[in-house]
Amino acid sequence: MAVISLTDINVTFKQKNREIVAVQNESITIEKGDIYGIVGYSGAGKSTLVRTINLLQRPTSGSVLVNGTEMTSLKPAQLRDERKKIGMIFQHFNLMSELTVFGNVAQPLKHAKMSKADKTKKVNDLLDLVGLADRAGNYPAQLSGGQKQRVAIARALANDPEILISDEATSALDPKTTNQILALLKKLNQELGLTIVLITHEMQAVKEAANKVAVMENGVIIERGSLLEIFTNPQKQLTKDFINTATNRDEALEKVTELLEEQPLADDEELLQINYVGADTAQPLLSTIYADYGVTTNLLYSNMEILTKTPVGLAIAIFKGTASQRATSKASFADHGVQIQELHVGGQH
């Protein structure tokens, strides 16, 4: 079921003597229970597009349906109510420094029609959920970045939203803390059925948490699909660039290049990148390639990730043998659905 349907969204900012088209005629549908990653470089229009969901950014034109309600036609009081169903977290947490952790999480409940005892219970339950039950009396300044983001998450959940928008929520955190926050978001997605829109410039974060991905550039979505589709069959160069960073392929290739500068390939050797989906594809082929084709392999890099329960592998290897031996072995990989491509690095032919 579609929880969010943005259709033909345009957002134009008028400045003194020029117009900035931040989002250009873009549409996106987000289903209940999705963790939808929106990836792109700074200025691509990610925040502007996503902020139209709760009309923090009113689109210049287009339709914003949230649970079937057209947000752009609501009266202010109705909009306030609908907005409560959409929580939001940000890169810099936006906590109130003069309030305790408890006070920050209780903030959205200030005008809620609940008894004081119920509010207290609600806040304590939320702090428990995000793993901060023992920090209720602390002030934000006494917390680490990861803990501050947990407070912000608890606060965003105070009104029991169905949707959580995360705008670069892990961008100010170190990799370990980032993974802990992403794990928390996944838990909330699974346990509460929360639909999450994850805006980020890091494909790594998307890889950890999302089930769907859209890549944005210059105000438009240039590519979209399931996490697995995007990672195993990216079409656009920008998507490939993001993925190569997220799978450490770029870093591995740099090291391989250095190695080959010292030990150049021989005439009967070639450098290959091997991409495969499913654990039972490439590894058996590599292990029998000498017996089957007389080709020896030198595995320089190998990485396997589990993306939405499916193993996705990447290897960089040198194949050594006669031209025809190498060609037959490569054809056999291709026959088994393993992608294999020759790499040219640092002046190698």
Ligand X SMILES: Nc1ncnc2c1ncn2[C@@H]1O[C@H](COP(=O)(O)OP(=O)(O)OP(=O)(O)O)[C@@H](O)[C@H]1O
Contact set with ligand X (CB under 6 A): 13, 20, 22, 40, 42-48, 168
- The one-letter amino acid at 211: N
Give the 3-state secondary structure of residue 261.
helix
Please, which residue, 56 or 327, has the CB nearer to ligand X?
A: 56
Distance in Å, CB of 107 to ligand X, minimum: 25
Distance in Å, CB of 11 to ligand X, minimum: 8
Please, which residue, 171 or 348, has the CB nearer to ligand X?
A: 171
Please, which residue, 45 or 321, has the CB nearer to ligand X?
A: 45
**138 vs 135, 142, 150, 151, CA distance in Å?**
5, 6, 13, 11
Q: Do 167 and 202 contact (CB within 8 A), yes or no?
A: no
d(CA 265, CA 245): 25
d(CA 249, CA 247): 5
Distance in Å, CB of 40 to ligand X, minimum: 5
Distance in Å, CB of 23 to ligand X, minimum: 7
CB atoms within 10 A of CB 255: 12
Q: If you ran DSSP here, which 8-state letter would residue 94 be given?
A: -
Please, which residue, 22 or 106, has the CB nearer to ligand X?
A: 22
Please, which residue, 22 or 253, has the CB nearer to ligand X?
A: 22
One DSSP character per residue, 163-220 reads EEEEESTTTTS-HHHHHHHHHHHHHHHHHH--EEEEEES-HHHHHHH-SEEEEEETTE
Distance in Å, CB of 44 to ligand X, minimum: 4
Please, which residue, 25 or 233, has the CB nearer to ligand X?
A: 25
